[in-house]
Structure 1
């Protein structure tokens, strides 16, 4: 799963269906369970993006 709190600067994620590629420029400061934290995995084309 590609959750923002696990992503680090320089990581690259890609959609296996369409090929969309995203590179993390800045790490997220969210902590799971905190108010306002991200809760949904990164997805594209209806499926989770995979780390390259």
Structure 2
């Protein structure tokens, strides 16, 4: 699951359906598992994006 708190600078995520690619230029500042952590997975075309 691609949640922003697990993404690192330079990571690339892509959509298998349309080919969209997103590169992380500045990582999220939240902490995984904390109350304020982002919890929505990164999706495109109704499917979860994969890490390259």
Which TM-score applies when normalising by structure 1? 0.88
Task: Give 1:13's aligned residue.
Answer: 13
- Secondary structure (helix, strand or coil) at the match of 2:22 reads strand
Distance (Å, rounded) in 1 between the aligned partners of 2:38 and 2:44: 16
Question: What secondary structure sits across from 2:40 in the alignment?
Answer: coil
Equivalent residue for 2:35? 34
Q: Which aligned segments of 4 or more residues in structure 1 are displaced greater than 4 angstroms? A: none
The number of residues matched between the two structures is 51
**Per-residue deviation, 1:34:** 2.3
TM-score (norm 2): 0.88
Q: Mark the runs of 5 or more structure 2 residues left unpaired by the alignment.
A: none
> 2: CA distance between counterparts of 1:27 and 1:6?
9
Structure 1 residues without counterparts, runs of 5 or longer: none
